[in-house]
Structure 1
Amino acid sequence: MSNSTGKCPVMHGGHTATGTSNMDWWPNALNLDILHQHDTKTNPLDPDFDYKEALKSLDVEALKNDVKALMTDSQPWWPADWGHYGGLMIRMAWHAAGSYRVADGRGGAATGNQRFAPLNSWPDNVNLDKARRLLWPIKKKYGNQVSWADLIVLAGTMAYESMGLPAYGFAFGREDIWHPEKDIYWGAETEWLGKSRYDGDASDSLENPLAAVQMGLIYVNPEGVDGKPDPLRTAQDVRETFARMAMDDEETAALTAGGHTVGKCHGNGSEQNLGPDPEAADVHEQGLGWNNSTSRGIGRNTMSSGIEGAWTTNPTQWDDGYFYLLFTYDWELKKSPAGAWQWEPIDIKEEDKPVDVEDPSIRHNPIMTDADMAMKMDPEYRKVCQRFYDDPDYFADVFARAWFKLTHRDLGPSQRYFGPDVPNEEHLWQDPIPAGATDYDVNAVKSAIAATDLSLSDLVATAWDSARTFRSSDLRGGANGARIRLAPQKDWAGNEPERLAKVLNLLEPIAAETGASLADVIVIGGNVAIENAAKNAGVTVEVPFTPGRGDASQAQTEVESFEPLEPIHDGFRNWLKQDYQVAPEELLLDRAQLLGLTAPEMTVLVGGMRVLGSNYGGSTDGVFTEQVGRLSNDFFVTLTDMSLSWHPVGKASYEIRERATGATKYTASRVDLVFGSNSVLRAYVELYAQDDSQEKFVRDFVKAWAKVMHADCFTR
């Protein structure tokens, strides 16, 4: 039988923009995709590929020399401004790193995510696809010895060095991802540069965890708040958004000035002439976007931000020209050729004007954005910038350090840094932890813990609370460092301070007597409890443990920096600090993803934590067992028991009743019940509820538990 005329015999909907997922029929269904964001099936490298080992064979000096040579190797298809690609490469590296946000550690340069949507097509990233394509011959040459993530940041760092700024340092170690991070929340707006992320007009009402002021921007709108010039108001947005990227006023001013000391803005044309962004472009564009097919569109006619001009007289040199122009001249608002607001100097000397990018006989006015004018008009920023202008060496040092922080903040602790240019100095923002002992008697520690009167639930809860702060996004937090005993963590409501203090008072002497770090003792305590609970369930198991965690000091712990790591929810311990607009089960997914857990691992951990009685405050919600402290599969068995019925009794509270008598047997939260209601999670629940799954459940729980406890254990 032939197909009807005009009917295609294959499945439609393969295009990202036009395809409709089957799950779109049920928009309120819990989407577990974020837990499998970087499935190994997307990674084309061999399973045994070790990037750290590959780096050991990298000729770093040769690579650096090749990158520096690229800076002045102008290509006809995308010519370099003034014959130097430095400004373009710096912007590429900056915008890769600048998407980082301290609230949840997501974004940043550590994964090479700028290669994929949505970042590769953000309005603020116009023409950065050209920068990556210019780098391709170098990536091709060195292959898997250097990741795209490392190469992108290195290109920006070498650009500065080639223009005269001594580098503070550089570290390799960023591993590429191979798939878009489509489940990261970048904002609720449905259009580029929309603004619906504020609750009022104040800058600090910007929605958490977001850091940029509008969809598709890295920081702030260069024309001003909502595109309306007002430097003092812009200063508020700059201060807030940079703070959300872990920068103080001095670092913010240094980065703004240093970033605009070189390169230029591009707006000598019409935005209407630009083609689709890379993700929307047709196949013949081969992954390049914003192509201009109606006019020249390159060189002096390039269109990116819409603002047109250089900030300094010598845009390919590191100098103090930014401050000289900013403070020497008065500035007035004008429109660029593309119609964007920009500030230009009044009565500027001809010799202070930068030359044209293609014809040195032509000079143009320099420009400042609204954020640049904020550096002059905001009293605090002006003080900092005046100090920089008075002491160029100090400015260069502060900027180099701030650039290093910007481009390395999400790389993780210094133990992960690799290469000959890694600075010897360790910074507070790197969350330093001294090395811990490894030669103590682990069994002696276990015996000492068993001899205390600490309950199984106390040991499990303390170990979990210590480890659950880990974020796979920027590799901060975790049990290493034992910061749970320090401010601010010791006072966090989610850590039950009174109970925590009692546990630590008994574990600290054990650490002192055995030579183990307290961090190790806390983890061992949780392991002891789990091994005993498994034994109670008839399964003998040893929880994997690697010693060597250290104990950080209060001086090594920046209190303000750690505040964003405070848990305000924890579905694993069935706790919410308060009611939120986001459903508890969605908050659980967020926590699980930050911990690096898969959906099966999340499932087995929740089921085990419930029967261990480790709920916050001793709550019995979800403790579906008559034998608390026995590592049984009772949680899953109860969820699949059709002799029971489930009844809402409040906004997020439920009763589990016997069908025959109507008697209430258990209580539950939404987090508990989602494992029985969601079809994917229920499939895992049914697996663990089977009569032959008790031992598998224990072993899977132990494996997932050990993964969390060791997540932050890094070696050089």
Structure 2
Amino acid sequence: MDGNQVNSTGKCPVMHGSHTSTAASNTDWWPSALNFDILHQHDRKTNPLGPDFNYREALKSLDVEALKADLRALMTDSQEWWPADWGSYVGMFARVTWHAAGSYRLGDGRGGAGTGNQRFAPLNSWPDNNNTDKGRRLLWPIKKKYGNKISWADLIVLAGTIAYEQAGLKTFGFAFGREDIWHPEKDIYWGAEKEFLAGSEHRYADVSKPDTMENPLAAVQMGLIYVNPEGVNGQPDPMATAAQIRETFARMAMNDEETVALTAGGHTIGKSHGNGRAEDMGAEPEGAGLDEQGLGWNAKGRRGIGRDQMVSGIEGAWTSNPTKWDMGYFDMLFGHEWELRKSPAGAWQWEPVSIAPEDMPADVEVPSIKTTPIMTDADMAMKVDPVYRAICEKFMADPASFDDAFARAWFKLTHRDMGPKARYVGPDVPSEDLIWQDPVPAGRTDYDVDGLKARISATDLTVAEMVATAWDSARTFRGSDLRGGANGARIRLAPQKDWAGNEPERLARVLSVLQPIAIEAGVPLADVIVLAGNVGIEKAAQAAGHSVTVPFAPGRGDATEEQTDAESFDALEPVHDGFRNWLKADFAVNAEELLLDRAQLLGLTAAEMTVLLGGLRVIGANHGGSKLGVLTDREGALTADFFVNLTDMANRWTKAEGDAEIYEIRDRKTDAVKWQASRVDVTFGSNSILRSYAEVYAQDDNADKFVRDFVAAWVKVMNADRFDIAA
């Protein structure tokens, strides 16, 4: 560099310390601007393994038994830098796994252990995840040894499962197949709070009514996995806590029996740590210094290990033998009377009014020292809530039923976000089909696709009817937990057939036409619905002067009512769909933000979202036949007219009188209203990023590209849940 060009103040022209920089970002300058981070995350450029790496292929060379043997050896290989309680890490690894999987919520399918997201902020630094960083670091030698053959996501879940086996539980099974992400998930809304452990009132309309918690949240406070162990907002009240537990676990897709099994089983091994002062803990991993090398919560001025640990602030074990799988939790909870006391860290906990020394757990470092057992407010809820208590009494009368209930609930907890069983890999995959896996029978591939298309084409179904029905069937797919989608044809079953977003009357008419065709051909309706959508698109393209064949992959099956957990499918009901210009109700966020959310769940890029929306508009696939955003005089033809007219400067936009959400496109010369549109539509002209995509498709030389891109994006959505075919 020319010395004369050096800034006279000695400043380097490159921005440093962006994490502490005061430089404003675009969202700082324009807070209401649409944030596209939700669609730009997990770009393949962030994956250090490269585009050719296939984890499922790598798994084929994994020595599973050797890996499990190494994990079993790790359970008692106490490390000096982080010694194991009672010489066993079973409690630690059970907690690491539980806290990875326990962030799952049914509302939008986000969270969970399926991506290894516990390695990144904010989860790696949540107060409730205190010291899980030590567990992951203890696993590092094993991860290093097996390398790309085992993902962090699979290893974290397997570690907890092996921990329970080491403690004596016969587990239900285990499946490999979770692929790692490589940076934080920016799309997950964990709550609006600006500080950890802020009061529950920030996410409840009424804290005394747990069902008023903001959707799709499940945990009661920012930075917790489920409920506050000290009680509601830290105030002990087991009955109030029971109400929060019931709502929170329901939002984690667990019923009452699964909730009791997980609570009791989770506290059968291990202990809670609160033998210190909160002010002595160092910063969390994301806030710790460089010398901490990614670890956090390290004690200042004290040992901070062994008997001297601080995690939750509650101090003590729940059972007499905290490294063994037994009925000790129930023996302790129901065998004693309990009273409130404070831990050494000042946290509320329940301790026995009286207890014999032989029933007390040993100190984690000095076996000859006996310590006082504890219960959290959540544990006491199991005793005082009549429903939970009855389940506990059932388990106590039949220990084998407890073993089975916990093993199944643990398997569900750790596999809930993996999607259908078709994605499971490994020798320990259970043969039993479970209803929460959304099972779908195998379909057929040996039929005359062209002949079936001809029969569909000969019906009186319109292009819009065929396309809208196929779209509605497929749009339920959620990449977050890999549920929903067109496979299974559950759109014909309750509850989906009655959802307002699926236009029940129109849906029933279309299905009444397609069902007989499917029956006569001996082909699952799921395939026929998608194929009808393809026929509609081919007709629309032909009307626009393009001859295209939409790729089709047969093989879908039709799920039965018995294979459908109707209650859990309620969470998949669309209450908005910007692609079909529909909102069921008013929302706190704008319609365009809801569109981004649905696009992300469908696995779409911003460009794919753009071309799909524009194409669906001109085809006439709007909900209820609405004309909003149908910016064409050739409705039903797959043209780029939506983008052409959106960007045409011969037009101007105004808000419609009497409705702030409706916009009019007017001719600049005559001021005549040409079309009306929603705020979702006009966003594609007003937002600089979306307009850049819209302009591509509005160009005179990109008419063919528009059709090709629309077809590719359409096929991507139709096949999103086809885990039986290559992507």
Q: State whether TM-score is above 0.5.
A: yes
Distance 1:20 1:143 in 2: 40
1:560 is aligned to: 567
Distance 2:64 2:16 in 1: 47
Q: Does 1:113 align with 2:120?
A: no
* Identity %, equivalent residues: 71
Greater shift, 535-544 or 325-334, is seen at 535-544
1:153 is aligned to: 157
Which secondary structure does the structure 2 equivalent of 1:333 belong to? strand
Greater shift, 299-308 or 387-396, is seen at 387-396
Gaps of 5+ in 1: none
Q: Does 1:47 align with 2:63?
A: no
Q: Does 1:28 align with 2:32?
A: yes
* 1:468-547 superposed matches below 5 A: 468-547=475-554
Q: Does 1:198 align with 2:207?
A: no
1:632 is aligned to: 639
| Partner of residue 422 from structure 2, selected from 415, 421, 426 | 415
Q: Does 1:452 align with 2:456?
A: no
Distance 1:134 1:17 in 2: 34
Assess, with a 3 A threshold, how the Cα gap between structure 1 residues 468 and 116 changes in structure 2: closer, same or farther.
same
Letter in 2 for 1:107: G
Deviations 1:621-656 (A, max 9, x none): 000000011111000001111111111111200111
Tell me, yes or no, if the aligned pair for 1:118 and 1:182 is still in contact at 8 Å.
no
| Partner of residue 675 from structure 2, selected from 666, 678, 688 | 666
Which secondary structure does the structure 2 equivalent of 1:253 belong to? helix
Deviations 1:34-66 (A, max 9, x none): 011111111111211111111111110110110
1:579 is aligned to: 586
Distance 1:7 1:530 in 2: 58
Letter in 2 for 1:197: R
1:128 is aligned to: 132
| Partner of residue 464 from structure 1, selected from 463, 471, 476 | 471
1:342 is aligned to: 349
2:382 is aligned to: 375
Query: Deviation of residue 5 (structure 1)?
Result: 3.5
Distance 2:21 2:143 in 1: 30
Query: Deviation of residue 12 (structure 1)?
Result: 3.6
Distance 1:431 1:453 in 2: 33
Distance 2:37 2:28 in 1: 14
* 1:209-228 superposed matches below 5 A: 209-228=216-235
2:690 is aligned to: 681
Letter in 1 for 2:713: A
Tell me, yes or no, if the aligned pair for 1:117 and 1:182 is still in contact at 8 Å.
no
Greater shift, 498-507 or 22-31, is seen at 22-31
Q: Does 1:607 align with 2:611?
A: no
Query: Deviation of residue 18 (structure 1)?
Result: 5.7
In the TM superposition, structure 1's runs of 4+ consecutive aligned residues that sit over 3 Å from their partners are 16-20
Q: Does 1:441 align with 2:445?
A: no
Tell me the TM-score normalised to structure 1 length.
Answer: 0.99
Q: Does 1:262 align with 2:266?
A: no
Greater shift, 5-14 or 566-575, is seen at 5-14
Distance 1:153 1:550 in 2: 30
Tell me, yes or no, if the aligned pair for 1:653 and 1:669 is still in contact at 8 Å.
yes
Distance 1:18 1:198 in 2: 33
Query: Deviation of residue 265 (structure 1)?
Result: 0.2
1:323 is aligned to: 330
* 1:59-98 superposed matches below 5 A: 59-98=63-102
Query: Deviation of residue 541 (structure 1)?
Result: 1.2
| Partner of residue 12 from structure 2, selected from 8, 11, 17 | 8
Distance 1:328 1:697 in 2: 71
Greater shift, 329-338 or 509-518, is seen at 509-518
Which secondary structure does the structure 2 equivalent of 1:58 belong to? coil
| Partner of residue 718 from structure 2, selected from 697, 709, 715 | 709
1:183 is aligned to: 187
Distance 1:319 1:183 in 2: 40
Distance 1:524 1:454 in 2: 13
For the aligned residues, what is the CA RMSD? 1.0
Letter in 2 for 1:389: M
Letter in 1 for 2:709: D
Gaps of 5+ in 2: none
Letter in 2 for 1:462: T
Assess, with a 3 A threshold, how the Cα gap between structure 1 residues 176 and 246 changes in structure 2: closer, same or farther.
same
The alignment covers a number of residue pairs equal to 716
Assess, with a 3 A threshold, how the Cα gap between structure 1 residues 353 and 470 changes in structure 2: closer, same or farther.
same
Tell me, yes or no, if the aligned pair for 1:262 and 1:316 is still in contact at 8 Å.
yes
Letter in 1 for 2:361: P
2:61 is aligned to: 57
2:294 is aligned to: 287
Deviations 1:182-213 (A, max 9, x none): 23100000000013000012111110000000
Tell me the TM-score normalised to structure 2 length.
Answer: 0.98
Distance 1:52 1:514 in 2: 35
Query: Deviation of residue 7 (structure 1)?
Result: 2.8
Query: Deviation of residue 537 (structure 1)?
Result: 1.4
Distance 2:184 2:23 in 1: 17
Which secondary structure does the structure 1 equivalent of 2:287 belong to? coil
Which secondary structure does the structure 1 equivalent of 2:286 belong to? coil
